[in-house]
Each structure stands twice: as structure tokens, then as C-alpha cells.
Amino acid sequence: MKLKTEWIKQGFIDEPITEGIDLQKEIRRMAEEKNAVILAHYYTKGEIQEIADFIGDSLALARKAAETDAKIIVMCGVHFMAETCKILSPDKLVLCPDLNAGCSLADSCKADDLKKYKEAHPGYQVISYVNTTAAVKALTDVVVTSGNAKKIVDTFPKDAKIIFGPDYNLGSYINEITGRKMLLWNGGCHVHERFSVPEIIKLKEDHPKALVLAHPECKGPVLAIADIVGSTAVLLKYAVEHPTEEYIVATEAGILHEMQRQCPDTKFYPVPPEVSEGSIGCHCNECDYMKMNSLLKIYNTLKYEWPTVEVDTKIAKKAVKPIEKMLELS
């Protein structure tokens, strides 16, 4: 199949469809016909989570990518997740509905910059958050997610010299709870850095019985007033195991779909982002990149089997080692 120039330029396919077509049903039909598995992150739109074969956080999705027998992997998330799928399953066709779905954390740490930083700090080992490019992972000793970061850091000797990146907030949180002094890369998630402490306090005043659930990518002041700090999967698990509670949720709003699905009688209050002077506030904090995924793009991705994600063979051979080490230690 010849790719259209406009597809390549825009990084996704938006071919029109027949009026009245049920996109969700057609996506499921094509997935079954083509032996494709659809993986979706908790931060994607609810309608996408509903058609996925598996939804999860970064760690769960990486495990699924390594285990699947499907011929095609459709990663509904962001680009680094699709790269991770390709690294773990190099013989699979990995599809990413929109190549523009990037990540502010991944963008904050370029491989060349990390290489120079490593050279300036001889004797240091590198622990990289999974929210990084394949090229950065290739320079890494072990990859971590927010769900296993502490567990993996604890496997290093107490006197180990460690560079942790690129999420400064997560690294700072791990330093605090472990007593370590890892060198921290100054990167951040554009979603989690925007949560408003005053809004959390206001929500607590309105809902005094509600517990605050916060992701460790949030800034220190947010984590300081949280009742539960953990990865997306950890926060979901806590809510499921304590369904009678009310919750104030300080992570990307997409998780509310699964929280509400599993806990239909529980009340969840999303924390609004900080609002700059003169701007209009919103009721939730969303990842613009995750929301680039749509049913139409997924339909066209499966139909035309593009956009594909490839990783340079030399980089992949190096990058797979710290990812596999993470999976072994998790």
C-alpha cells in the first residue's frame, strides 16, 4: 500500500468513513481478523478504553507487550510506549494511531544531553523513568515506572551513585522516602506539574471525608497533603479496595473512567490544574498527547496498518536490557 503524502506529513490517518458506521464494532472486528491486540493507557479517552483488549499503566502495558502472541500491537497511548512495545516485541508490527502523541517528560531528556551528563559524572549508574525515548533507555542501567521505582532503587547499594531522570518530582519523592541523594534530572510532566494545591484544599473543605489520591509525578506540596501516593494502578487498586470512600484525584483525568467503572457508587473529584491570571479554568487536568488518540485514528490505523513504529536495531539491542531488568525486578 502506498502511503499518502498528507498522512506522512501529519503523522496519522484521518480518512473519512461511511456515515453511520459503528467505529467500536468495526475496530473490534478488524482486530480479531488481523490478530491484533489493542493496548490502551488509563489516560486515554473512555471510549478507547472500552474497545481495548487490555488497559493499564506503563508497567502493565510493557508486560503485556512482552507476553502477547498477537501479530499486531496497537498502542493507544504515547510514542515512547509504542517504542517500548517494539523493543520488547521486535518481530511484531507495532502501530501508533498518532505519531504526534509525544510526552513532555521524554522531550525533557535528550539522549545526547544524558550522554554528556554521564560523562561529567563518572562512576554513576543511570535509572531512567519509562517515560523516555529508546535512545535514552539505551544509555540506562535500569528502567523504572512510578509503580516500581522505590522497589528497584532499593536493590542498589545504599552508597551507590545514581542519576535519576527525567522526572524530578518522582526522583525527589524516592529520595525522600529512601533517604538517598540521587542526582535528579530536571524534567517534569506537563499534566502533574499543573495540579493546584489551593484547589485541593478547597475540595477538602467541600468534601472533608474525601481522601486525596496523588501520583508521585506531582510536586512536593501536592504529595505532602495527599493521603495516598502511588502509580495510577496503585491509586486505582486502593479505590477498588475501599469503595465506600470519596476521593480527590490528583492524576490525569482519564483514570476516572476506570475508577468509576469499577467503583460505580464511589464519588471521585478531579483536581483542577493551576490557572494563570486571565485564563479560563477547567474542571480536570488532561494530557493533550494521550487525547490525540481517537476511535477514527485507531480504525484507520488498523485498516491501513500505519503509522508503524520502528526502533533502530543497535539502539533496541541496548535499550531492551534495562527494560528486561525492570521486568525481572518488578
Domain-located, residue 329? no
Per-residue burial over 87-112, b = 16 or more CB atoms within 10 Å of its CB, e = otherwise: bbbeebbbbbbbbebbbbbbbbbebe
Q: Which of 54-63, 96-105, 135-144, 247-256 has the lowest mean pLDDT?
A: 54-63
What percent of the chain is modeled with pLDDT above 70? Answer: 97
| 85 and 120 both lie in a single domain | no
Cα–Cα dist 44/291, whole Å: 6
Is the domain of 96 the same as that of 109? no
Which residues form the domain of 252?
A: 192-270
With CA atoms as reference, report the closest residue to 189 among 94, 293, 109, 70.
Answer: 109
Mean pLDDT over 28-47 rounds to: 97
- Provide the grid cell at 85: 512495545
Residue 245 has pLDDT above 90, yes or no: no
- Say if residue 312's pLDDT is above 80: yes
H helices present in the chain, as ranges: 5-10, 23-33, 46-51, 58-67, 79-88, 104-107, 111-120, 134-137, 149-153, 168-178, 197-206, 220-224, 232-241, 255-262, 295-304, 313-329
At 309 the pLDDT is 97
| Whether residue 111 is found in the same domain as residue 90 | no
Q: What is the pLDDT of residue 196?
A: 83
Q: Let me know: does 307 contact 12? Beta carbons within 8 Å.
A: yes
Q: Are residues 185 and 201 in the same domain?
A: no
Looking at the fold, whether 296 and 211 belong to one and the same domain comes out as no
Q: Is the confidence at residue 244, as pLDDT, over 60?
A: yes
Per-residue pLDDT at 283 = 55
CATH number for the domain harbouring residue 134 = 3.40.50.10800
- Residue 69 pLDDT > 90: yes
How crowded is the C-beta side of 84, counted as CA atoms within 13 Å? Answer: 34
SS3 95: strand
Q: Do residues 83 and 10 share a domain?
A: yes
Is residue 237's pLDDT more than 80?
Answer: yes
Q: 144-196: per-residue pLDDT in tens? A: 999 999 999 999 999 999 999 999 999 999 999 999 999 999 999 999 999 98
pLDDT of residue 87: 96
Does residue 324 fall inside a structural domain? no
221 part of a folded domain: yes
Tell me the average pLDDT of the chain: 94
Global pTM value: 0.92
Domain boundary among 189, 212, 235: 189
pLDDT at 211: 97
Q: Are residues 43 and 89 in the same domain?
A: yes
Are residue 86 and residue 12 in the same domain, yes or no?
Answer: yes
Structural domain contains residue 208: yes
How many angstroms separate the CA atoms of 29 and 22, rounded?
11
User: 161 and 127, same structural domain?
Assistant: yes
Is 214 inside any structural domain?
yes
pLDDT at res. 275? 58
Q: Is residue 322 part of a domain?
A: no
| Residue 285 pLDDT | 83
Quick one: 160 and 215 in the same domain? no
Q: Which residue has the higher pLDDT, 34 or 285?
A: 34
Residue 223 has pLDDT above 80, yes or no: yes
Looking at the structure, do residues 12 and 94 belong to the same domain, yes or no? yes
Mean pLDDT, rounded, for 233-238: 96
Same structural domain, 16 and 85 = yes
Give domain status of residue 321, yes or no: no
If one counts the domains in the chain, the total is: 3
Q: Tell which of 189, 206, 231 closes a domain.
A: 189
What does the alpha-carbon distance between residue 198 and residue 193 come to, in Å, rounded to a whole number? 14
**Predicted local distance difference test score (pLDDT) of residue 276:** 45
Return the ∠ at Cα 18 (arms to 77 and 98), rounded to 5°. 20
Task: Let me know if residue 284 belongs to a domain.
Answer: no
Query: Given this model, what pLDDT does residue 27 score?
Result: 98
Q: Decide which of 189, 211, 246 is a domain's last residue.
A: 189
The pLDDT, as a whole number, for residue 278 is: 41
pLDDT per position as a tens digit, 273-296: 875 444 444 556 899 999 999 999
